[in-house]
């Protein structure tokens, strides 16, 4: 064995190299305070290793990036662990970087002859921050997408070349495939390459001048190996433990897939950039460039000048004070940003946006599991065509002008004014019962007193119309069973999968009430009460009973998708409201796709996981 090693040494000279690497004398002995540089090297090595393995499963394009990250996180074995390690070690690296920098300043390690090494360190810091910024976008989820947009928009503030610079970084006029390919090339190629290069210089320069020892007589001198190496390794182990705990108990999140058409009100940068985000709020109008570029640039410039400032008699004290003030400022701004999002007057909006984001990220996962995969159109298409998530916005834009939904605008926000029936539980037993018993009530036609059509106020045309009067006159005379029966009968027409099985027996009785007005043939005034007096209905191709005056909407297949589509597209047709109509037609209001989604959403027709099959880990 020894002969073999000697042979190897003869050919390569490795022993001298190893000796030089390991047997560096440490004046004053190995100490815990020297571990921070090593922990950073360890963190970087972890990022390289986990990064390369992530690379093997990642696909940078706007239709595959999110999908491949989804697959890594939820489908590949230990994918969640790999991604979690990379995600949290990146954050640990920023923290370690700050500690390392602070220690260098406190110990005066920036002073001659270590100026160059101090600057190399600052360059390394910029590279690490660049890695963090580019990495944040790569999963292509809503959060990274919208937060990074802000960062690249700010690039346009750079004088003269700003807009061109931004376009080069983004790879075109808007975010897309080339933003990802470019960011990924930076993140996995250019920046790590630069980092390795500068790290070699940094360590070489460090070895040239040796460790900065605040107190050389602290203890007996020792060697890097094994005394300091052991301490470094224990510190690195501590870092790894923290990162592992964060991965296991928090996990790297993956938001809903990025969608340029879906605004994201919860966009925030990574927590360690929050102070810059908050800082921007204080620069109104065209002073933005001061908050975004000039002041941060100047503050960093002072940092770079520390080796020169340190030569001045009080220089070192100034530098330490400067560092502490910067730290305090960063903590203050970060705290302020946190307060505004969690406690301030606008916190509710932010919290709602976060809740919405979490719901969508959960929902898309559910959709993928139900449909057992993602089509080539990507995860974004899954959410966009999902009535459950896309419906509320469409209702808000198109229907909430008049209709409310469970008292709000569909998305949970209050409405200024309601001028038509509340459609929140449209077609359900409760909704139908409420309508029969109190058609003129505020949740139904009563709301129309606030409405107008073609510029004419509606007044009490519906609020006190034929149906409302019928409710007042006849509903009190009906037995509870009669009401429930009609409800069940109407429900049966809608073919609703979400409302539970139809009680066929009750529905048959309901048909009797619908046709004859009562279950009791001798009931007083039953004939006037029959729905058929005003509403036509065809079942199985045959019209029901003797038709009445047909002055009210036809109820054939009432509440079914077909009925709803026809009603919304042709509310003024003779078989719907006819002349009395006060609802605009929804022809040409939105795309066919949007219309389909809205119709399905109103009938709660969407994919749901079967109960009991939920699989969370």
Partner 1 sequence: MDHQPQPESGPVQDFLNAQEPRRDFFTQAAAVVTGSILGIVPLFTGLAVFLDPLRKRTRRKDGESAGTDVEEGFLKVTALDGLLQGGAPRRYEVIDDRTDAWNLFPQEAVGAVYLVREGEAGVRAFNVKCPHAGCSVDYKPEASCYQCPCHDSSFNAKDGSVANPNSPSPRGLDELDVKLVDGAVWVRYQEFQPGTSHKVPEA
**Considering beta carbons, is residue 130 or 441 the nearer one to partner 1?**
130
The Cα 313–Cα 355 span in angstroms is 55
- Answer yes or no: are the C-beta atoms of 136 and 147 closer than 8 Å: yes
Q: Do 25 and 223 touch, CB atoms closer than 8 A?
A: yes
Contact 38, 236 (CB under 8 A): yes
Long-range contacts of residues 519-523, Cβ cutoff 8 Å, at least 24 apart: 519/479, 519/481, 519/482, 519/485, 523/477
Closest approach, Cβ 300 to partner 1, in A, equals 21
Residue 131: exposure state from Cβ atoms within 10 A (0-12, 13-18, ≥19): buried
Taking the complex as a whole, the smallest distance from the CB of residue 587 to partner 1 amounts, in Å, to 8
The least CB distance from residue 143 to partner 1, in Å, is 12
> Considering the complex, what minimum distance in angstroms separates the CB of residue 110 from partner 1?
20
Minimum distance from CB of 172 to partner 1 (Å)?
A: 5
239 forms beta bridges with none
Residue 77: CB atoms within 10 A of its CB come to 7
Cβ closer to partner 1: 104 or 582? 582
Cα separation, 420 vs 433, whole angstroms = 17
Least distance in Å: CB of 261 to partner 1?
3
Q: Of 264 and 558, which has the nearer Cβ to partner 1?
A: 264
**Torsion (CA) 575, 578, 581, 585 in degrees, nearest 10:** 60
Q: Between 461 and 477, whose beta carbon lies closer to partner 1?
A: 461
Closer to partner 1 by CB, 261 or 613: give it: 261
Q: Which is nearer to partner 1, 284 or 301 (by Cβ)? A: 284
Q: Which residues are near partner 1 by CB under 8 A? A: 62-63, 146, 149-150, 153-154, 156-157, 163-164, 167-168, 170-174, 176-178, 208, 260-261, 263-267, 277, 280-286, 288-289, 291, 340, 346, 349-350, 353, 396-398, 401, 413-416, 455, 584, 588-591
- Minimum CB distance to partner 1 smaller for 315 or for 571: 571
Least distance (Å) from partner 1 to the CB of residue 380? Answer: 10
Q: How far is the CB of 174 from partner 1 (least distance, A)?
A: 8
Closest CB to partner 1 among residues 134, 149:
149
Is residue 486 within 8 A of residue 506, CB to CB? The reply is no
User: In this complex, which beta carbon is closest to partner 1, that of residue 323 or of residue 353?
Assistant: 353
Between residues 107 and 349, which has the closer beta carbon with respect to partner 1?
349
Query: Rounded to the nearest whole angstrom, what is the least distance from the CB of residue 415 to partner 1 in the complex?
Result: 8
- Minimum CB distance to partner 1, residue 357 (Å): 11
Q: Contact, 267 vs 354, CB < 8 A? A: no
CA distance 603 to 605: 5
β-bridge partners, 452: 457
Least Å distance, CB 185 to partner 1, is: 10
Six-digit token pair at 54? 């992530």
Measured at the CA of 606, the angle between CA 604 and CA 611, to 5 degrees, comes to 100
Question: Which C-beta is closer to partner 1: that of 293 or that of 323?
Answer: 293
- Single out the residue of 394, 364, 124, 120 nearest to residue 257, CA to CA: 364
DSSP per-residue string spanning 226-294: IIIHHHHHHHHHHHHHHHHHHHHHT-----SBP-TTS--TT----GGGHHHHHHHTT--GGGHHIIIII
Q: Do residues 107 and 214 make contact, with C-beta atoms less than 8 angstroms apart?
A: yes
The residue (of 268 and 365) whose beta carbon lies closer to partner 1 is: 268
- Any residues with CB less than 8 A from the CB of 516 and at least 6 apart, and which? 526, 527, 530, 545
- 233 vs 354, beta carbon nearer partner 1: 354
Supply the minimum distance, in Å, between the C-beta of residue 443 and partner 1: 21
Could you identify the residue written with the tokens 């870092």?
A: 239
**Whole-number minimum distance, CB 160 to partner 1, in Å?**
13
Both tokens assigned to 369 = 């599991």
Q: What are phi and psi of 261, to 5 degrees?
A: -90, -10
- Does residue 354 sit in helix, strand or coil? helix
> CB of 41 within 8 A of CB of 73?
no
Q: How far apart are CA 538 and CA 527, in angstroms?
A: 19
């Amino acid at each position: 064995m020894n002969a073999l090693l000697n042979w190897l040494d003869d050919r390569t000279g490795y022993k001298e190299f190893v000796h030089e690497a390991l047997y560096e004398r440490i004046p004053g002995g190995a100490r815990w305070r020297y571990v921070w540089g090593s922990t950073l090297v360890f963190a970087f090595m972890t990022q390289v290793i986990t990064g390369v393995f992530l690379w093997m499963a990642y696909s940078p394009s706007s239709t595959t990036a999110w999908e491949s990250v989804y697959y890594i996180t939820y489908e590949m074995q230990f994918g969640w662990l790999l991604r979690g390690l990379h995600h949290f070690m990146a954050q640990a690296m920023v923290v370690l970087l700050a500690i390392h920098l602070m220690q260098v300043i406190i110990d005066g390690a920036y002073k001659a002859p270590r100026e160059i090494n101090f600057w190399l360190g600052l360059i390394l810091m910029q590279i690490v921050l660049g890695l963090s910024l580019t990495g944040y976008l790569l999963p292509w989820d809503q959060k990274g997408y919208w937060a990074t947009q802000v960062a690249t928009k700010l690039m346009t503030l750079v004088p003269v070349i700003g807009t061109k610079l931004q376009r080069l970084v983004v790879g075109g006029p808007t975010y897309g495939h080339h933003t990802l390919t470019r960011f990924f090339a930076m993140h996995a190629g250019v920046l790590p390459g630069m980092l390795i290069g500068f790290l070699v210089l940094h360590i070489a320069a460090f070895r040239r001048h040796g460790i900065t020892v605040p107190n050389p007589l602290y203890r007996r001198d020792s060697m890097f190996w094994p005394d300091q190496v052991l301490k470094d390794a224990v510190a690195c182990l501590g870092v790894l433990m923290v990162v592992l705990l964060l991965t296991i108990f928090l996990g790297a999140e993956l938001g809903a897939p990025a969608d340029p058409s879906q605004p994201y009100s919860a966009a925030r940068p990574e927590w360690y950039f929050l102070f810059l985000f908050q800082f921007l709020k204080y620069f109104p109008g065209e002073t933005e460039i001061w908050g975004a570029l000039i002041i941060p640039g100047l503050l960093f410039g002072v940092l770079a000048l520390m080796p020169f400032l340190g030569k001045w008699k009080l220089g070192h004290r100034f530098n330490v004070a400067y560092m502490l003030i910067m730290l305090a400022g960063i903590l203050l701004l970060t705290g302020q940003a946190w307060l505004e999002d969690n406690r301030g007057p606008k916190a509710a909006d932010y919290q709602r946006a976060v809740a919405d984001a979490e719901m969508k990220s959960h929902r898309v996962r559910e959709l993928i599991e139900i449909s057992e995969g993602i089509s080539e159109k990507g995860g974004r298409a899954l959410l966009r065509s999902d009535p459950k998530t896309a419906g509320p916005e469409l209702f808000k834009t198109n229907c909430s002008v008049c209709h409310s939904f469970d008292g709000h605008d569909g998305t949970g926000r209050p409405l200024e004014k309601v001028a038509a029936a509340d459609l929140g539980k449209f077609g359900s037993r409760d909704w139908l019962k409420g309508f029969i018993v109190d058609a003129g009530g505020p949740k139904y036609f009563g709301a129309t007193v606030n409405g107008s059509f073609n510029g004419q106020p509606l007044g009490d045309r519906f609020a006190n119309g034929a149906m409302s009067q019928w409710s007042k006159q006849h509903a009190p005379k009906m037995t509870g069973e009669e009401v429930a029966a009609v409800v069940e009968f109407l429900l049966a027409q809608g073919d609703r999968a979400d409302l539970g099985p139809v009680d066929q027996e009750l529905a048959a009785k309901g048909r009797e009430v619908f046709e004859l007005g009562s279950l009791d043939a001798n009931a007083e005034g039953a004939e006037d009460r029959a729905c058929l007096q005003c509403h036509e209905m065809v079942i199985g191709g045959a019209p029901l009973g003797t038709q009445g005056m047909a002055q009210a909407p036809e109820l054939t297949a009432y509440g079914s998708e077909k009925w709803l589509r026809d009603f919304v597209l042709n509310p003024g047709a003779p078989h719907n409201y006819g002349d009395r109509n006060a609802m605009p037609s929804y022809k040409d209001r939105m795309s066919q796709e949007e219309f389909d989604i809205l119709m399905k959403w109103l009938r709660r027709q969407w994919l749901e996981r079967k109960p009991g099959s939920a699989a969370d880990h």
